Structure 1
C-alpha cells in the first residue's frame, strides 16, 4: 500500500511540475501567461467537482483494488502517449489542457479509493498509524517528484519527465495487483456486492451526503475549513513557476527545489506524528494549522530573497501536511467503512474548488501583481481561520 501510494503521488507531483512549465513554454511573452499557468493546474482539479462524488459511490460499491488498477492503466498509457505527442512536435497548449483534464478525472476517483483501501489492509487498532505512515508519501513525493522533474526538464527535456510519469503509474498497477485486502468489513463487503443500478447509484450518493452532514457534523465542518489549506492558499505552489521566474529570476530547476523543500517540511511533521502519535483536540489542530498556512502565505508574498522564500515554503508544507493528516485520521477513525470512499470523495470534491480559486488568482495577478495577490490570499485565510477559532466550538473541541 505504501509503495503503491508513493508511486502514485510521485507521478502526480512530477505531472504538476511538468504541466506548469509546459504552459509557461507555450505562453512565453503572453499577457495572460500567469492565468494559463495557474489554470492548467486548476484544470487537473476541475473534474473533481463533478466526478469525485460519483467516484465515491463507485469506490464503495465495486472492488476498490480493481478500480485503482484500471485507472492506473489508463494514466500510464495516457502519459506515454502525451510524451510522444510532445517529442514529435505536435503538441499545443490545448493538448496540455486536455491531458490535465484526463489526469484530473482519473485522480479524482483513484485518490479517495486508495485512501479507503488503507482500512482494508490493516487491523482497526493500527489504522491511525497506518494512515499517517501512508500519508508520509505525500510530502516525500513532493520532494522527490519536483526535484527529479526539475533536473530532467533542465537537462534532457520534458519528454523524459512524461516517460517517468508513465513508468510510475505502471508501477502503481503492478503493486496494486499484488496487494492483499484481508480486513474488509463483512457488512461492507455484502453492501459492496449487493444489487447496484442507476437508481441505487444516486440513492447512495444522497445517502453518503446525509450520513456526513447528520451523523458526522463536526467532521463536515472540518472539511469546509479545508478550503483554507486546499483551495485558498494551496495555489501558492502552483504559482511557483511564475514566482521563481519573475521574483527570484531563476529557472525550472529552482522551481523544483522550492517544491521539494516544501515536501521536506511536510515529511518532518508526519514523521513526528508517526513516532509520537496525535495529541488530543484534533479539531483544534486543524484550525491552527489552517491559520498558520494563511500567515505563511502572507509572509511569502512579501519576500523576494531566496533563503527566506525557502524557509517559508518549508513551514508552509509542514502546516498543510498537519491539516491533511489530521483530517484524514479523523475520517479513517470516525467513518463507517460503507461510507468511507464517499467521505474521502466529498473531501476531494471540496479540494477540487482549487480550480475556481486558481483561475481567480491567475486573473487577479494579470490585473495587479503576483506578490499583492499572494498577500491577499494570506489575509483571507487568516480571517476565516480566526472565525473558526472563535465560533466553531464543535470543531475546536473535537477529540
Structure 2
C-alpha cells in the first residue's frame, strides 16, 4: 500500500485526481488564456495606433503597477476572508471590464487612452485574483501532492501562453476579413469575455473546506506587519523574494518588445507575432511537465532557480542575435522554459515553507516583484527607441547573467535550501 501511494505521488498529473483542484486548474487555463489574448491584442492595437515603442513598453508595464500598490492588501484579504468568494468577486470584475472594452471597440469609440485605462483596471483586478488563487491550492490539495499541484498550475498558465497569443493573432487576421480595425479588436475582446464566463462556472462548482480565519482576530495593519516580519526574518523566503526580482526587471520585459521584433526586425505579420508570443509558452509547458513529474524528487530547488536565471540570460542574448522567425521561435521557447522553471520552483519553495495562516500575505508580497516590471518594460521601451530592440535584449541578457553571479556569491541560503 505504501508503494502504491508513493507511485501516485510521483505521477505527473497526480494532483488532478482531486475534484476541486481540477476545477481550479481548468479555470486557470481559461483565465490565463484570456489574459494572454488580452496582452497580445492590446499590445498590437497600441503599436498599430501609435508606432511608438515607448508607449508599447509603457502599456505592457502599466498592467503590473497595481501589484505594487494593492498586492499586500490582497494578501491580507486572502488570509482574512473566504478565498472562494473572493475569487468569484474578482471574476465578475474581470468579465465586466472585458465586455466594456469590446463594446468601446465595436462602437468605434476607441482611443489610445482607453487601452491604458483598460490595462490599469484589469491589472488591479489581477492583483487581487492571483494571490488568492495561489493561496487556495493548499486548501484543496493534500500536502503530499502540493508540489505537483503548484507545477501543474504553472503549466496551465503557460500552456495557455501557447494557445492565447496564437488564437489572438489568428482572430485578428480572421476578423480583418469581415470588418475594419475596430471589428478586429472587438472580436478579440468578445472571445476573451467568453473565456471568463467559463472560469466563473468553474469557480462556482468548486467546494473549498472551511478554515479558521486566525488573521481576522487582529487588525489589517497588524496582519500586514506580521507578514512583512515573517518574510524579513526567514532567510530562505527572503532569498526567494529578492532573487525573483531579477527576471521581472531584466528578463521578462523582452515580451514588451516582441511587436517591434515582429514588425521591424523580422518583418512578419500578426500571425508571426502570435507565434512569437506562443513560443515561450511552448517551452514553458514542456519545462513544467518535467517539473511536475520530478517535483517530489527535487532535493535542491535553490540550485534549479539559479540555473533558470543563468540560462534565461544566455538565451536572451542568443535571441537578440536572431534574424529569422524560425530561430527566434526556438530561442524564445528555451527562454520561456527556463523562465517558468525558475518561477515554478520559487513557488514550490514558498508553498512548502510558509504556514497556511500566512500564505496569502507571503504570496502577495512575493507578487510585488511584478510591480517592478513596469520599470523594466519602460526602460526596455526607451532603450529600444534609441539603440534598437536587438541591442536592448542583448544588454538585458548580460545583466541577468551578472546578477545570477551576485545571487550565487551573496545568498548561500538559496543554494543550500532542501525540499
Q: Name the structure 2 match of 1:239.
A: 257
User: 1:228 Cα deviation (Å)?
Assistant: 2.1
Separation in 2, partners of 1:190, 1:395: 31
Query: Aligned runs of 1:78-93 on 2, under 5 Å?
Result: 78-93=97-112
Is 1:346 equivalent to 2:369 in the alignment? no
Q: Name the structure 1 match of 2:4.
A: none
Separation in 2, partners of 1:275, 1:287: 20
Q: Name the structure 1 match of 2:196.
A: 169
User: 1:391 Cα deviation (Å)?
Assistant: 2.8
User: 1:275 Cα deviation (Å)?
Assistant: 2.0
Q: Name the structure 2 match of 1:261.
A: 279
Q: Is the 8 A contact 1:226 1:290 kept in 2?
A: no
Q: Is the 8 A contact 1:226 1:351 kept in 2?
A: no
User: 1:259 Cα deviation (Å)?
Assistant: 1.5
Greater Cα shift, 229-238 or 17-26 = 229-238
Q: Is the 8 A contact 1:13 1:146 kept in 2?
A: yes
Structure 1 pair 348–190 and aligned structure 2 pair: CA distance change class (3 A): closer
Query: Aligned runs of 1:224-373 on 2, under 5 Å?
Result: 224-277=242-295, 278-373=297-392
Q: Is the 8 A contact 2:41 2:185 kept in 1?
A: yes
Query: Aligned runs of 1:1-399 on 2, under 5 Å?
Result: 1-28=24-51, 33-156=52-175, 157-182=184-209, 186=211, 189-192=212-215, 194-195=216-217, 200-214=219-233, 216-277=234-295, 278-399=297-418
Per the normalisation by structure 1, the TM-score is 0.94
Q: Is the 8 A contact 1:18 1:161 kept in 2?
A: yes
User: 1:195 Cα deviation (Å)?
Assistant: 4.0
Greater Cα shift, 45-54 or 270-279 = 270-279
Separation in 2, partners of 1:339, 1:272: 29
Separation in 2, partners of 1:252, 1:365: 20
User: 1:38 Cα deviation (Å)?
Assistant: 1.5
Q: Is the 8 A contact 1:35 1:362 kept in 2?
A: yes
Structure 1 pair 328–57 and aligned structure 2 pair: CA distance change class (3 A): same
Q: Is the 8 A contact 2:160 2:281 kept in 1?
A: yes
Q: Is the 8 A contact 2:64 2:373 kept in 1?
A: yes
Unaligned runs of 5+ residues in structure 1 are none
Per the normalisation by structure 2, the TM-score is 0.90
Q: Is the 8 A contact 2:74 2:128 kept in 1?
A: yes
Separation in 1, partners of 2:104, 2:277: 27
Count of residue pairs brought into register by the alignment: 386
Q: Is the 8 A contact 2:315 2:334 kept in 1?
A: yes
| Other structure's SS at 1:280 match | coil
User: 1:165 Cα deviation (Å)?
Assistant: 1.1
User: 1:45 Cα deviation (Å)?
Assistant: 0.4
Q: Deviations along 1:136-173, whole A, 9 cap, x unmatched?
A: 11210100100101100122012111111111122212
Q: Is the 8 A contact 2:65 2:370 kept in 1?
A: no
Q: Name the structure 1 match of 2:10.
A: none
**RMSD between superposed Cα atoms in Å:** 1.3
Separation in 1, partners of 2:46, 2:323: 23
Q: Is the 8 A contact 2:316 2:397 kept in 1?
A: yes
Greater Cα shift, 93-102 or 340-349 = 340-349
Q: Is the 8 A contact 1:244 1:251 kept in 2?
A: yes
